[in-house]
Structure 1
Amino acid sequence: MGLPRTAAAAALPALALTASALAGCTASSSASIADQKTITVGVKADQPGLSLKGTGGTYRGFEVDAGTYIARKMGATKVEYATVTSENRESLLNKHKVDIVLASYSITAERAKLVTFGGPYYLAHQDIMVRVGENRIHQAHDLAGRRMCQASGSVSTSRVVSGLGIPAVTVPSPSYSACYQMLLDGRVDAVSTGDMVLAGFAAEGRSKVKVVGAPFSDERYGVGLRKGDIDGCEGVNKAITEMYQDGTASRLLRKWFGASGVHLVESVPEFEGCG
């Protein structure tokens, strides 16, 4: 039985409102950062060379400069920054607290289930940092039985212990800046992660710590975006390509890491693809 004419007429505004609300939800959930004029870049606050937050609240480092370049190339007229950690990168992206993340964010299959990755924007290599004067650790296998710092939310330690089967003694830490301090204090024997992260700390404490220069794996640093933002991912990849082609990437890498002694990769990394 159909609705009476008056009831049907009354139902039309409600149906229209419902359809409008659903359309709004669909548009919101599928919105891309490619359409935004303000982009908030998530960066770390405690990694010298990559991203360090100063006492005045200003962020400085390679990932800050690269994030600015990418956002501007995508059409953003305003670029803001917010602090992320290895533990909360995914949640802050999905809660729309940040729009893209450049935070030594290694691309892994597990992480790719939660976010869409643009890039990578740099191909780092996992290495080892020790105190100056340490003569027992020259390569990854020398970490067996040694105290190695395990930064919360990072996959670097598992590459040593699980990936290579090296029985290092892992010592938990909230971050790599804390790992660096633990190394200086003698509470751990080594810190192992991407050479860009280590290079920044080594430059800060050049008379106290050193990078051994024995890379043993690749770390593809990607730009994290909200899951499914294909347009945003393609825009990020286009911007990264231009950053390397116009010489900006080389200039920034030399600016922040030229004095570190770490081998710098100045060619465009092979992209993962946005599909």
Structure 2
Amino acid sequence: MKLSRSIRLGIGTIAVALAATACGGDETRSVSTSAENGSLTVGIKFDQPGLGLRNPDGSFSGFDVEVAKYVAQQLGVPAENIEFKEAPSPQRETLIQNGEVDYIVATYSITDSRKEKVDFAGPYFVAGQSLLVRADETEITGPDSLSGGKRLCSVAGSTPAQNVKENYAQDVQLQEFDTYSACVEALRNRAVDAVTTDDIILAGYAAQSPGDFKVVGEPFTEERYGIGLAKGDDESRNRINDAIEQMVSSGAWEAAFQETVGASGYPLPDAPQVDRY
């Protein structure tokens, strides 16, 4: 039977759409299935010294990287079969929902709003929000001292800057960049007065530039870092939780911390308790 031109065009359009869906990254992934197939794609930060950093030679280092590798190993995937993908803060949920990564280990705080879109294993670390300032700064000692129109930098898609504005200094001037490294450069160039995010992240930047910056004040939030994965992938979440508990009990968690973050002077915190929600 000969089809009309309009029908042929319609069928062709449907075929193209189906092909795009099959080839595109709009389907969530099962971590366990990827592991069984022998490889994993893991989202990390590329610009956070001590946590997730892409080195000049193309290798990756940091505590989050070591956690990601340990989890992969427990799932049966060696480090050489991990593809690390950059996971900027504003894109983390999208990367998981689109199936572009299997899981994300990127200073990813577990929050109720995020749990509406993705699931979390962990926490694997508990940090607290703080402030980074220039070494010669004397006026800024904590979030309350940011009043008077101080310029505060954080990353778009993260919660720390908004937390300061809502709870401490309503007249602070917020500047949001794509990365914390851009915030640190703005601080160095005196374009902003302080950078806010979790204390462990700030300690890494301070250690990277000795004598230029300092972390001030006591932490004023609790940030529970989780491993983000596709919503509803319960089997994989349970297996990753098992891996985190094994990392802690075996001593590998403390060893990874000392090898990556310890040099910054950040004190070893208590080991986290996995939340089996």
TM-score (norm 2): 0.84
1:50 aligns with 2:54: no
Alignment check: 8 A CA contact 2:71 2:244 kept? yes
Query: How big is each residue's C-alpha offset from its partner over 1:8-46, in whole Å with a ceiling of 9 and x where there is no partner?
Result: xxxxxxxxxxxxxxxxxxxxx786312323111100111
Aligned-partner Cα distance in 1 for 2:248–2:217: 25
2:67 matched residue in structure 1: 66
Checking the alignment, whether the CA contact within 8 Å between 1:141 and 1:166 is kept in structure 2 is no
Q: Give every structure 1 segment of 4 or more consecutive aligned residues whose post-TM-superposition deviation is greater than 4 Å.
A: none
What amino acid is the match of 2:145?
A: D
Secondary structure of the structure 2 residue equivalent to 1:93: helix
**Do structure 1's residue 177 and structure 2's residue 181 form an aligned pair?**
yes
Distance 1:147 1:96, change over 3 A: same
- Matched position secondary structure for 2:112: coil
SS at 1:237's partner residue? helix
Asked whether the equivalents of residues 244 and 266 of structure 1 are also in contact (C-alpha less than 8 Å), the reply is no
Aligned to 1:121: 124
SS of the residue corresponding to residue 239 of structure 1 reads helix
Query: Are 1:81 and 2:84 an aligned pair?
Result: yes
Partner SS, residue 95 of structure 2: helix
- Decide which of 133, 138, 141 is 1:138's aligned counterpart: 141
Residue 101 of structure 1: CA displacement? 0.2
Offset, 1:195: 1.1
Q: Contact (CA 8 Å) 1:30, 1:229: kept in 2 or not? A: no
1:256 maps to which residue? Answer: 260
Name 1:21's counterpart in structure 2.
Answer: none
Counterpart of 1:232 in structure 2 is: 236
C-alpha separation in 2, matches of 1:84 and 1:112: 17
Structure 1 residue 263: Cα displacement: 2.6
Farther off after superposition, 157-166 or 40-49: 157-166
What does the per-residue CA deviation read over 1:156-200, in whole Å, with 9 as the maximum and x for residues that have no partner?
111111244543211121210100100100011111111111111
Judge conservation of contact 1:119–1:240 (CA < 8 Å) in 2. yes
Which shifted more, 75-84 or 142-151? Answer: 75-84
Letter of the structure 2 residue corresponding to residue 34 of structure 1: S
Q: In 1, distance between residues paired with 2:103 and 2:138?
A: 41
Corresponding residue of 1:100: 103
Q: Flag the structure with larger Rg.
A: 1
Q: Deviations over 1:202-251 (max 9, x none)?
A: 11012100111411111111100011111111111111111111111111
- Is residue 38 of structure 2 the alignment partner of residue 40 of structure 1? no
Native 8 Å contact 1:140 1:214 kept in 2? no
How big is the alpha-carbon RMSD for the aligned residues of Structure 1 and Structure 2? Answer: 1.8
The 1:31–1:257 alpha-carbon spacing in structure 2 relative to 1, beyond 3 Å, is closer
**Structure 2: gaps spanning 5 or more residues:** 1-26
Structure 1: gaps spanning 5 or more residues: 1-28
Whole-angstrom CA distance in 1 between matches of 2:171 and 2:49: 29
Deviation at 1:117, TM superposition (A): 0.6
* Pick aligned residue for 1:203 from 201, 207, 226: 207
Looking at structure 2, the residues matched to 189 and 74 of structure 1 have their Cα atoms a distance apart, in angstroms, of 44
- The residue type paired with residue 151 of structure 1 is V
Q: Secondary structure of the residue that 1:193 maps to in structure 2?
A: strand
Match of 1:162 in 2: 166
Letter in 2 for 1:94: Q
Match for 1:74: what amino acid? L
> What fraction of aligned residue pairs are identical, expressed as a percent?
37
* Equivalent residue, structure 1, for 2:21: none
Q: What does the per-residue CA deviation read over 1:120-151, in whole Å, with 9 as the maximum and x for residues that have no partner?
A: 11001111110001000111111113110031
